[in-house]
Amino acid sequence: MDSKQLYQEVILDHNKKPRNWGKLEGASHRAEGLNPLCGDHLWLTLKVSDGQIEGIAFEGQSCAICKASASMMTTNVKGKTIDDAEQLVREFREMATGKLDVVAQPNHLGRLSVFSGVKDLPSRVKCAILPWHTLHAAIHEADSVSTEGEQDPVAVAHAKP
């Protein structure tokens, strides 16, 4: 694929001006995401009340794909219920790994489908997915996730006892 297809205007814009950047005061959920392969490292804080994500923020050091993915994720899940956010996590992961065809199959991804191009760049899939793994971990109150080691961090992320 052409990198222009991946580095679309919207991605470059979110990379340059990430939305919901920072740390939430009085967060109810938090998690750290790490991709040792390229050094992507982000921190996610959430305010959840009555099963609804009232606030979300992120910060860290990462490549453009990861940062834009995190930024667009925050704008998309803010105000959503945990269940709806988890559905987006699943769909985003399936899109990025080529299991969900965003054109042919019904989904709730909307503008997030700009990331569908990463499926052709296996080394970059993890960059796009990391924020979503981290969101899943935060919801389940696991301390940190890594894209290395375990086959599927989403599957192994677990809540603290």
Partner 1 sequence: MNAATSLKTIVDSATTAPFDLARIRADFPILEITVNGKPLAYLDNAASAQMPQPVLDRLVRYQTREHANIHRAVHYLSETATAAYEGARKKIQHFLNAREEREIIYTRGTTDAINLVMHGYGRAFLGKDDEIIVSQLEHHSNIVPWQMLCQEKGCKLRVIPCDDTGELLLDEYEKLFNAHTKFVAVTHVSNALGTVNPIKAMIATAHRHGVPVLVDGAQAAPHLRVDVQDMDCDFYCFSAHKLCGPTGIGILYGKAALLERMQPYQGGGDMILSVTFEKTTYNALPYKFEAGTPPIAAAIGLGAAVDYISDVGIENIATWEHQLLSYATEQVGGIRGVRIIGTAKDKAAVLSFNVDGVHPHDVGTILNEEGVAVRTGHHCAQPVMQRFGVPATARASFSFYNTLGEVDQLVTGIRRVQKMFA
Question: What residue ranges bind partner 1 (CB under 8 A)?
Answer: 2-3, 6-7, 12, 15-16, 36-41, 61-66, 121, 124, 127
Q: Which residues pair with 30 in a beta bridge?
A: 45
Distance CA 35, CA 62 (A): 9
Q: Which is nearer to partner 1, 110 or 122 (CB)?
A: 122
The kind and range of the H/E element at 33 are strand 29-35
Closer CB to partner 1, residue 13 or residue 141?
A: 13
Half-sphere exposure of 148 (CA within 13 A, CB side): 8
Report, in Å, the least distance between residue 47 CB and partner 1: 28
Cα–Cα distance measured from residue 95 to residue 144, given in angstroms and rounded to the nearest whole number: 23
Smallest distance, partner 1 to C-beta of residue 5, A: 10
Look-up of token digits 């940062």 = 67
- Closest distance of CB 6 from partner 1, Å: 7
Is the CB of residue 34 less than 8 Å from the CB of residue 157?
A: no
Cβ 78 to partner 1 shortest distance, Å = 25
- Closest to partner 1 by CB, 8 vs 113, is 8
* C-beta of 60 vs 153, nearer to partner 1: 60
